[in-house]
Amino acid sequence: MIHQNIQICPMTEADIASVSDLLNHYASKAVLLWRTPDDIRDHLQSFLVAKDEQGIIACLALQDYGNGLFELRSLAVDETLQSKGLGSRLIKFAIEKCRKNAAKEVFALTRKTEFFTKNGFQVCDKANFPQKVWKDCLLCHKKDCCDELAVTYKISD
């Protein structure tokens, strides 16, 4: 079981190096896209982090595409703490944040659809999110052989 005194909060400038290390650990395994500290700093306001007494143990970012559409991206949990509910806690926190910002829908591209469907998402067609495809997918080395599926969480119609 994970520690009870985990705090989920917006990322601060002081968290950038730890978040970069966490994300790039998974990027080195081709699980996530590489994120430079400068890129993370440029998107500081979009990140949420989970911290315990040791420091950053998980993160995710929310990309606002306007018109009530948000993308959940850069979800990473320290490998030693996976399968203990921390990713689900972060997602629930992010969805509540989106709900407060009048979101209608949250989506993600993932290889772990089962994790997302357990958290209330439904598998859908990637073509529903051309904003994502034109923003990030063109930069991905797997753009012509993508193995990710789209999932969506409807907040309101």
- Read off the pLDDT of residues 94-114 as tens digits, 9 standing for 90 and up: 999 999 988 999 999 888 899
Give the integer Cα–Cα distance in Å for 157 and 58: 30
What pTM was computed for the model?
0.85
In a domain, 1, yes or no: no
**Residue 142 forms part of a structural domain:** yes
Is 2 among the domain residues?
no
Q: Are strands 7-10 and 122-124 parallel, antiparallel or unpaired?
A: unpaired
**Total Cβ atoms within 10 A of residue 60:** 24
Number of structural domains the chain divides into:
1
| pLDDT value of position 128 | 76
Measured between alpha carbons, how far is residue 113 from residues 45, 55, 66, 103, 157 in Å?
A: 26, 28, 24, 21, 23
Average pLDDT over residues 151-155: 94
List the CATH number of the domain containing 111.
Answer: 3.40.630.30
Residue 54 lies in a domain: yes
Note down the domain range covering 17. Answer: 7-154
Q: Give yes or no for a contact between 107 and 69, defined as CB atoms under 8 angstroms apart.
A: yes
